[in-house]
Amino acid sequence: MLQLFLSEPTWGEYDKNDESYERRRSLLGELESVIWSLLSSEGRSEARLWLCNTLSSIRSISPRRQRDLFVRLLRSKPVKRHLASQLLQLIFEKQPQKMGSIIAKRSHNLETFFKGNSVWVFVPYMGNPRRILQWFSNFSVAGDLEHGNGAKALSRFAFVNRDICWEELEWKGKHGQSPAMVATKPHYFLDLDVQRTVENFLEYVPEFWSSNEFSESLKDGSILLVDTKFFVNLFIDIMYKEDLEEVWDVVEEFLMEQSFSFLCHHLLIILEEQDLRLFLELIPKYLKSKSEVFAFDNSSEWLEIILSKYGGSSTIDQLVLLNAVTNQGRQLLRLVKEEGSEEEKEKIQNLVFQLCESSSCANDLASILGEGLKMKPLELITKLGLQSWAIHFRLSEEFRTPESWESLFISNGIKFRKSDKYALLHDDEFPENSESDYNGRSSVRLKPKKHRKHKKRRREDFDCAESYENELVDFNLSNNKLDLQSKARNWLLSTDGYSTTWSSVDLPEHLSKHCFITWLKWVFAKWRVCLDP
């Protein structure tokens, strides 16, 4: 039977020259090589994404620390334009008014935005038609209060400054409109030739671009949607070339307000390899120290401990591999089956079988643990992760029946209770007025007329269901109820204090993680004894 090594061995009672130790160490090295070969080719981007997802579940970083972490990454050299671009787009989407207020103070700079490309510098009266129409053409029949931001700014400025700019308004009709006429019938603005009018303002009315009317129209940040790429580039220049404190204040505030999970999901996935490596080098400084945290309730917590203690000595490749075999066992198994060559699949299967031989004894793993104290910490932890994934693989491939699972529990000292989660009906749940016939079908007394109306349909439904009898359920005629086939059995286990119902689908992942966490606790406890004063 498969040995899960859940009983802590007696430290030191092993022979480091034992052949089983050398054999297991060699097998783990070979398994690491094959898995890494697969991850570094077909599955590299996916494995990186797995690591980012695990990092996003870290909970111990405070809002101030996460702000400092990402700001330090943003300010590192070379300039992180790609990261800054993604972050600015998130701010534009969630808090556009904060950037809009900054643009409003620099409204005069948007004159060039509506002029368009620099190729038109020698023809200043021409503008960018798309930008002009999208921002200024949103006039409403209802008048000023319903005009869009750009149209409202244009109409209000025109009325207030009609002595200097009314002649620059271009109308689509045969003749222009007077201020008095438009004031009484504001819907006349719908006849304004917006593009030609704004081009006239670009050439002859420079006062408009610094006016209060135009500035007010920008404050809610909706201007950012006209050309997001332009404004992203504009703010990147303001951040890195001008180093404007006001923009960095908005960025820092946003980084504090969002959850660490949100930031990781949206920012880490777009980092270049060297930038992700820098993030992994920086993050240990912002995690709680080893004296503050010593828990293993979920995958992110033990990863936090590893990063806080040994992150500085780790490489991105080590963490990608370790995360894949410990936190993403099921996904790694799928990757092997879908992307691995036949040679790789066969080799992994053979290595897993040898690592999980029933002849393995506790001292075999004890030697790895004992000698591992002399290794680099991440090297030992990775070996334990590889052994746990080998168990995951073996459980997924070979354990199919409830009897095999229960035999595994018993042989490895795991207490269990059978769960009735999927029972269709208990004996004491039959309604008081129900009756059962000898065909195994229970029915409730109904009014005769209604019963006859649906009798034919119910008979057809039952005949259809009966064809699936052998696949899904077994009719128990002795007690007049439906019993689930044994293969649908679920269990409550002592591994998690009987808190969750486990099925055979989820057991390989749960048990392999439980093994890894158990071994890791032993190792960390031993390291604390050896290293702590």
Query: Which tokens sit at 216?
Result: 């007010």
Position 289 scores a pLDDT of: 63
Cβ distance 386 to 365 under 8 Å? Answer: no
Tell me the DSSP string of 147-188: S-HHHHHHHHHHHHTHHHHGGG--BSSSS---HHHHHH-GGG
On the CB side of 330, CA atoms within 13 Å amount to 8
The answer to whether residue 155 sits within a structural domain is yes
Residue 259 in domain: no
Q: What are phi and psi of 255, to 5 degrees?
A: -65, -25
- The rounded Cα 465 to chain-centroid distance in angstroms is 40
Q: How many domains does the chain have?
A: 2
Q: Using the 8-state DSSP alphabet, how is residue 258 labeled?
A: S
pLDDT, position 312? 66
- Which residues fall within 8 angstroms of residue 390, CB to CB, at 6 or more apart? 31, 351, 352, 355, 356
In this prediction, residue 161 carries a pLDDT of 94
CB 339 within 8 A of CB 42: yes
| Cα separation, 202 vs 125, whole angstroms | 6
pLDDT of 487 > 70? The answer is no
Distance in angstroms (rounded) separating the CA atoms of residues 266 and 259: 11
List, in order, residues 6 or more apart from 95 with CB less than 8 Å away. Answer: 221, 250, 254
Give the residue numbers spanning the domain of 444.
Answer: 427-487
Mean pLDDT of 164-179: 86
Burial 69-85 (b: 16+ CB within 10 A, else e): bbeebbeeeeebeebbb
233 inside domain = no
| Higher-confidence position of 404 and 426 | 404
Is 163 within the bounds of a domain? yes
* Of 227, 244, 277, the domain-final residue: 227
Residue 503 phi, psi dihedral angles, 5° rounding:
-105, 170
Query: Would residue 500 count as lying in a domain?
Result: no
More confident residue, 359 or 315: 315
Of 449, 466, 487, which one is at a domain's C-terminal end?
487
The residue from 210, 227, 244 where one domain ends is 227
Tokens of 273: 């390899």
Q: Are 248 and 256 in contact (CB under 8 A)?
A: no
Residue 530: the pLDDT is 54
**Position 425 confidence tier, pLDDT thresholds 50, 70, 90:** very low
Characterize the bridge pairing of strands 416-419 and 473-476. Answer: unpaired
Distance between CA atoms of residues 32 and 322, nearest Å: 10
CA pair distance 356, 387, nearest whole angstrom: 8
Residue 36 neighbours by CB under 8 Å, 6+ apart: 317, 321
Domain annotation covers residue 349: no
For residue 468, being part of any structural domain is answered with yes
Residue 338 has pLDDT above 80, yes or no: yes
Q: What is the mean pLDDT of residues 229-237?
A: 96
Structure-token pair, residue 226: 């006209």
Distance CA 401, CA 40 (A): 35
Q: Does a structural domain hold residue 177? A: yes
Q: What is the pLDDT of residue 17?
A: 54
Winning range, highest mean pLDDT, from 357-361, 379-383, 475-479 = 379-383
3-state SS track over 365-418: HHHHHHHHCCCCHHHHHHHHHHHHHHHHHHHHHHCCCHHHHHHHHHHCCCCEEE
Q: Which residue has the tokens 């990454």?
A: 73
Q: 291 or 304: whose pLDDT is higher? A: 304
